[in-house]
Chain A
């Protein structure tokens, strides 16, 4: 990671499962417009422990993912804080709060973090988004830009 990158955006999900790819879509947008923002961008299917080191090197991390819910297309932004795992149900993937805890315990650092999500409607195979999710993507990008503006 470049020394100049003290902001990390992680797009999480499966881009072959329609609305589950919304995190990747955000990452792709900022990748294509990277010249405007000094941010490091990562895409992944799921959050894994090695990302803890990346988190330990930045002051802000923005997780972008799809969320299951009863109102498809609803855009949310929540601050995330470190939350250690309480049970043994540890799998290959971690939640954003667990990953933050991982960074805090191992590297004594935990950046400010936000989780930006859009509630998905269709998770079947495909690379296009449902109408409700697609219509919210510009708002999602603006929301992330606002978070970045506030941090710069």
Chain B
């Protein structure tokens, strides 16, 4: 009898989701669907609001990565104003964005994924959580807190206050950086670099135990997309879009923000609130591409900072041309923390960062604007349309987790086919199905535009759709 297995809710990710595994007559996985079960609708909320409110409004989309929305939103507003913001303002935005990478990646690696990665996928689920990590690896866990705290502090210091910070604004930032604050940030960098270097070495040693996961976790050829700068380095704040294929060949390059819709379209499915962006020249659903840390490391030719470059070269040796296994999102995340810390230091070491000219002023000069930046989970696109009075008439947000939707679904199918056997269900098998989703670090609150916790469900259904088994976690 054909059956269906449903994981609901998926744990240790942000938002609500479930996974349905369709089994065939032989009890083998035939199909898999990753459902996002929450709906937000922020795009509709924006209509009629002054575009100048958009950065602070958009920052409320997510409690984990508000800065990412600040960046893309501000850039879209810059485009509406048709201004080129002062270089110092762009660099100050970069520092805040990179601090966001440090805190977000630290949360993903140390708090959400380390139980799987350091305690083992088959560890007792009662211990395979952050409290198990604290017991076995207290130093690593404390270091995770310190790294995240550092990122959060830099954001708070730059933002000026915790309640409704409005430092990043259309046209730049509203306050220059003080010498005292610059020095306060800089003095913490060596300790943070020491933490991440140690963690990276520890993680690389642990990879030996994950050959099978590396081989089966969303490991397939696909396109990869990210921003790159003119030197083919990381461009987390700005740059132009590049797509490479599964062999590393560039298939589209130099794509300006306002050209994104020539390359990306979105499909919808009735069983999920999360849309399916796809690479338009290939079409849906074959135009599958991935974004985020793995994609960024795959599209660049070097990182742009010394330690990260060394790590990147070693990382890229894991693949031929590009690294295809999504298990290596974790590894890529750690390298991006190294880069972020180094880059913050490089920016702050330049005396020009203390320049006082940090904002351009203008009204509405374009009725449409697109802002693209790299968020921790991948490329974030904000596309606004306004009327002559500067009131929003339309907003379209394409969130990193959405870009990865096709890849996450295919990854779940690949893992389920490899690990799940209906005849002998084991918790560790199901954990791997969840873990492949966690590798992408999806942020479903962002991508579907509900307040609440991520929950995850696995259901087993027969050919007639009847649930014959179910695991649910809250």
A residues sitting closer than 8 Å to B (CB atoms) are 14-17, 20, 24, 27-28, 31, 41-46, 48-50, 52-53, 84-93, 101-102, 105-106, 123, 125
14 examples of A-B residue contacts, CB within 8 angstroms: A14-B63, A16-B45, A27-B163, A43-B163, A48-B148, A49-B107, A50-B107, A88-B12, A88-B115, A89-B9, A92-B64, A92-B454, A101-B131, A105-B131
Residue of B nearest to A47 (CB): B63
Contacts of A90 on B, CB cut-off 8 Å? 11-12, 111-112, 115, 129-130
Pairs A-B, 10 closest by C-beta atoms: A45-B63, A89-B473, A91-B454, A50-B148, A92-B14, A50-B149, A16-B60, A105-B134, A89-B11, A88-B125
Contacts of B473 on A, CB cut-off 8 Å? 87-89
Q: How far is the CB of A61 from chain B (nearest CB, A)?
A: 15
Q: How far is the CB of B245 from chain A (nearest CB, A)?
A: 33
Q: How far is the CA of A14 from the CA of B66 in the complex (A)?
A: 12
Interface size on B, residues (CB 8 A): 46
The answer to whether B45 and A125 have CB atoms under 8 Å apart is: yes
Answer yes or no: B142 CB below 8 A from chain A CBs.
Answer: yes
Q: How far is the CA of A49 from the CA of B41 in the complex (A)?
A: 28
Q: How far is the CA of A42 from the CA of B455 in the complex (A)?
A: 26
Count of inter-chain pairs, beta carbons less than 8 A: 110
Residue of B nearest to A49 (CB): B111
Q: Give chain B interface residues in 103-132, CB to chain A under 8 Å.
A: 103, 107, 110-112, 115, 125-126, 128-131
Answer yes or no: B357 CB below 8 A from chain A CBs.
Answer: no
Residue of A nearest to B434 (CB): A88
Q: Given A50-B152, A88-B129, A106-B145 in contact, is the A44-B111 Cβ separation under 8 Å? A: no
The answer to whether B148 and A46 have CB atoms under 8 Å apart is: no
Answer yes or no: B453 CB below 8 A from chain A CBs.
Answer: yes
The answer to whether A85 and B130 have CB atoms under 8 Å apart is: yes
Q: Given A14-B60, A50-B152 in contact, is the A89-B474 Cβ separation under 8 Å? A: yes
The answer to whether A49 and B474 have CB atoms under 8 Å apart is: no
Contacts of A93 on B, CB cut-off 8 Å? 63, 453
Q: How far is the CA of A84 from the CA of B126 in the complex (A)?
A: 11
Q: How far is the CB of A126 from chain B (nearest CB, A)?
A: 9
Q: How far is the CA of A15 from the CA of B12 in the complex (A)?
A: 24
Q: How far is the CA of A50 from the CA of B63 in the complex (A)?
A: 13
Contacts of A84 on B, CB cut-off 8 Å? 131
Contacts of B465 on A, CB cut-off 8 Å? none
Kindly identify which residue among A24, A48, A85 contacts B131, using a CB–CB cutoff of 8 Å: A85
Contacts of A14 on B, CB cut-off 8 Å? 60, 63, 451
Contacts of A24 on B, CB cut-off 8 Å? 163
